[in-house]
Structure 1
Amino acid sequence: MKLLSWNVRGLGQSRTVNRLKNMLRDVNPSVIFLIETKLQSKRMEGVRKSCGFINGIDVASNGRSGGLSLAWKNNSKVQVRSYSNRHIDVIFEEDLDGVSWRCTGFYEAPEVENREASWALLRSLDDMPDMPWLVIGDFNELLLASEKQGGRLRSESQMNGFRMDLTDCNLEDIGYNGIWYTWEWGRLSSNNIRERLDRGVANPAWLTLFTDYHLDHLVHSFSNHCPLLLTTSSSDQTRKQMHHFRFEAAWLLDESCEGEVRNLWNSCTGNIPDRLTRISLGLEQWFIRIKKEKKIHVKALQQRLKELSESQPNDDNLEEILETKLALNMEADREEI
């Protein structure tokens, strides 16, 4: 199973939704947990369905803050246990062995004065000690001072409260691959802050059940939080889909498209239906080549963004990060067209 958890920082604009769709097409998760949707339930349901997730639970935002959505593909077996404005708790049944395990999407209160209530909520959810349990999301807190760079030092009492909460629930951090931080603020080196606020934690039963899982911090071009992609098994494969010929509107944005159509038409003989058939086959080959080139370009941009994000921030570095994110967003816009 692939599970994507992301504080998207609002889905009120169509461009943001389109970029989310582009991300989901790229990683193809079977379950998504979205945080800070900033949408009412009905509108979030429409966004979720437009992303291809018919089934799900949508928790309304409080004005322009909050909002959660946990959604799953049709082939996932899910039992909903409880939900609130801070969590969505479900049980998954794996197809292969019929093994059941709990997953709680969690959003800890961003306000310091509300942390105790959030920690009490997590402790109250610890009511099935023998079942494998994963909690994933935005905890808005650090476990260690080393998980923060820039800005004011984190209060030791806050971090200790978080550590004690996880200990009481028999949960431990499951680690990650990728850049070390999940949240960033500030475009200049003088005010840049980086923190690891998003994570996955699990109990020993879950860690015993999934021995070859991995959690990746994905590079991103919008939201100040990075997406977390959990893969429960290294053998998980993206399903291949049937490809049907369609003329893509985005092809018209490529300078070589017109010339390719002209060359294919001129090189064909016979009646019009036969020529159109040959052109469609030729365009498919052209599209495969162009798509491969664009994929290489996007991967290069993502790799550069990863390198920049891992380096020590300075003004030149942060400026190039913005330019690289802009280039990635432009590619996402073309893809959406």
Structure 2
Amino acid sequence: MSILYWNAKGAACTKFRNTMQDLIRSHHMEILFVCEPRISGLKAVSMVKTLGFPCFEIVDPIGFSGGLWLMWDDSRVKVEIIGTHDQAISACISWPGQTPWIFTAVYAKPCGFKRDKLWEYLSFVEGCHNLPWLLAGDFNDMLNKSDKLGGAPIRRLRGFKPWFDQHAMCDLGFSGPKYTWTNKKVLERIDRAVCNTQWRSLFADAHVIHLPRTKSDHSPLKICFKSKFSSSPLNRPFRFEAMWLKHENFPEFIAQNWELSYGSALDKSCALVEPLKQWNLSVFGHLKQKKARILARLAGLQKALHQGPNTFLINLESILVADFNYILDQEAMFWRQKSRVKWLQEGDRNTKFFHLSTIIRRRRNKIDRLKNDAGLWVEESDGIKNLAMQYFSELFSPAPVATNSFTIPNMFPSIDPGALESLVADVDMEEVKVNLFSIGGLKAPGVDGFPACFYQKQWNTCANDILDLVHQSIQDCRIPGGLNSTMITL
């Protein structure tokens, strides 16, 4: 599924038809939105029909400017027009197996006074539904001062920015050239796609590509709903889930398995991986399924209580509600870890916030394609993998070492003997504990997949092994040659 938008700056000429047909052949979109065609009536209908879309909605321009064309292929997507405006078309979009959502195609007037009417209309549309919502088009306004290069500096962002913030919208971002419009002197990003949090959650992989400008002074925008690159869950490295720490049987399980393992603290943590996976399946369970079961039991129980008071059922209801809140705490911890965001010092159970933060971070960090040495884009998963492996293999391959030797001049100051003694002093348990507990619990995990919060919570179990590992690391990093050449890496 994809949508293509373009501010064509006139659709009466042959150049528009040729450019548009080339875009359609190259990008295979289900929905096409064109604004500023500057033609109306039968002429507009005739031009739209030549583009090959069986269904369309047209809002004629006022005078010689503006106009909106929304076209779609009804064999692949269902589009129901729910409202039109001289600056927007709103439609309900769906296809088999997909939750319906709202799409609003936008062309904002260059005049600020007329553009204010658009924000009023969009607020009205938002108040008429509670569905996922995507908006795309030419907003003729910016969200950030960095969206403009050249010309008079932006003093204040009016209209679009306050509306965007007030309705908690998300910018879908982009790949490709940053600016979407130019008059050869000024560059601006005024064409974009934004959505509400529901739509961003529904289409987590959706992204926008700024295509090259050709006929118009605006770049076409392609909104892709899925990434071409798909990773296999079987190849994902192990990652410890902080929500496991909230299970009442977890400390006992870790203590038993830790004692049964051999080697260093790193060896023992790696040995926990497979038992933890089995424990997660057989004991901890699936959060969504557990929530569904509890809610189903609560619904039946509360229905039974309508027949009259029952002490047993009332007590059972309290237990189930407590269990439900317990699962919510675990779920909040899960999304807090995935989002990598601190919120009120990790004290707010705002699952929706952390969920959205996770989706946005994943979308920002996801690599959809890489360019090889020949300047060609590689988009297939195997090709991206091979290209990355080749790059880092060459990066870390031994390079020819120059044989020219030189003597380092004696420019280093002498070190006080007391300071030298502190550098080679033994590391004690308290020093290790202080440093471990100073690490953010949900920061990036180590090579074993365990974040700092695991070792912090299980300190009494693994303290001695961690201290032994630190001492061994010091011995491994010690350079022979006496006191002045000792190097300690922690």
Instruction: Report if TM-score (shorter chain) is over 0.5.
Output: yes
Q: Equivalences for 1:93-132 in 2 at 5 Å?
A: 93-95=94-96, 97-132=97-132
- Give the Å deviation of 1:128: 4.2
- Which secondary structure state, in structure 1, belongs to the residue aligned with residue 9 of structure 2? coil
Residue deviations 1:302-335 (CA, integer Å, cap 9, x gap): 9xxxxxxxxxxxxxxxxxxxxxxxxxxxxxxxxx
Aligned counterparts of 2:176 and 2:111: Cα–Cα separation in 1: 28
2:170 alignment counterpart = 172
Q: In the alignment, does 2:30 pair up with 1:30? A: yes
Assess if the C-alpha contact under 8 Å between 1:123 and 1:168 holds in 2. Answer: no
SS at match of 2:222: strand
Q: Aligned pair 1:220/2:230, yes or no?
A: no
1:88 partnered with 2:86: no
2:204 to 183, 206, 211: 211
Give the Å deviation of 1:301: 12
What SS does structure 1 have at the residue aligned with 2:127? Answer: coil
Looking at structure 2, the residues matched to 155 and 9 of structure 1 have their Cα atoms a distance apart, in angstroms, of 28
Cα pair 1:41 1:59 within 8 Å, conserved: no
Q: Which has the higher contact order (CA 8 A, sep 6+)?
A: 1
Structure 1 match to 2:362: none
CA deviation vs aligned residue, 1:222-266 (integer Å, no higher than 9, x gap): 100000100112259xxxxxxxxxxxxxxxxxxxxxxxxxxxxxx
- 3-state SS of 1:230 partner: strand
Distance 1:174 1:89, change over 3 A: same
Q: 1:85, CA displacement in angstroms?
A: 1.4
Which of 190, 194, 209 aligns to 1:197? It is 190
Where does 1:37-76 land on structure 2 (aligned, <5 Å)?
37-75=37-75, 76=77
* Structure 2 counterpart SS, 1:126: helix
Q: Write the distance in 2 (CA, Å) between the matches of 1:15 and 1:115.
A: 29
In the TM superposition, residue 174 of structure 1 has moved relative to its aligned partner by 1.2
Deviation for aligned residue 1:72: 0.1
Q: Which residue of 1 aligns with 2:160?
A: 162
State the alpha-carbon separation in 2 of the partners of residues 33 and 104 from structure 1: 10
- Give the match for residue 78 of structure 1: 79
Give me the identity figure in percent: 30
How far apart are the structure 1 equivalents of 2:15 and 2:215? 11
1:278-289 to structure 2, matched below 5 A, reads: none
Of residues 181, 184, 199, the one that matches 2:182 is: 184
Residue identity opposite 2:181 in structure 1: W
Residues 16-67 of structure 1: CA distance to partner in whole angstroms, max 9, x if unpaired? 2122111211111110010101010422221111111120101111121011
Q: Deviations over 1:168-222 (max 9, x none)?
A: 3332211111111000112xxxxx1100000011000000000111110001311
More strand by share: 1
Q: Which amino acid aligns with 1:181?
A: Y
Structure of higher CA gyration radius: 2
2-structure distance, mates of 1:121, 1:155: 26
Aligned-pair CA distance for 1:161: 2.9
The amino acid of 1:224's aligned partner reads D
Report the counterpart of residue 396 of structure 2 in structure 1: none
Q: Which runs of 5+ in 1 are unaligned?
A: 187-191, 237-299, 303-337
**Which position in structure 2 is the counterpart of 1:8?**
8
Q: Could you tell me the TM-score, scaled by structure 1's length?
A: 0.65
Whether the aligned pair in 1 keeps the contact of 2:56 and 2:71 (CA below 8 Å) is: yes
Whole-Å separation in 2 of the counterparts to 1:11 and 1:33: 13
Q: Distance in 2 between matches of 1:130 and 1:233?
A: 23
Q: Do the aligned partners of 2:170 and 2:200 also contact (CA within 8 Å) in 1?
A: no
Q: Which residue of 1 aligns with 2:135?
A: 135
Are the structure 2 counterparts of residues 94 and 229 from structure 1 closer, same or farther at C-alpha, using a change threshold of 3 Å?
Answer: same
Query: What is the one-letter code of the residue matched to 2:24?
Result: L
Unaligned runs of 5+ in 2: 230-374, 378-490
Partner Cα distance (1:48, 1:136) in 2 = 20
Question: Contact 1:41–1:58 at 8 Å: present in 2 too?
Answer: no
| Number of residue pairs matched by the alignment | 232
Equivalent position amino acid for 1:168 in 2: Q
User: 1:118 & 1:72 partners in 2: Cα distance?
Assistant: 24
Contact 2:213–2:220, Cα closer than 8 Å, also in 1 = yes
Query: Any idea what SS the aligned residue of 1:79 has?
Result: strand
Q: Report the AA paired with residue 150 of structure 2.
A: G
**Is the partner of 1:115 in helix, strand or coil?**
helix
SS class of match (2:80): strand
Q: CA RMSD in A?
A: 2.1
Normalized against structure 2, the TM-score is what?
Answer: 0.45
> Residue 128 and residue 50 in structure 1: after superposition, are their counterparts in 2 closer, same or farther (change >3 A)?
same
Alpha carbons of 1:129 and 1:74: their partners in 2 closer, same or farther (altered >3 Å)?
Answer: closer
1:129 to partner: Cα distance: 4.9
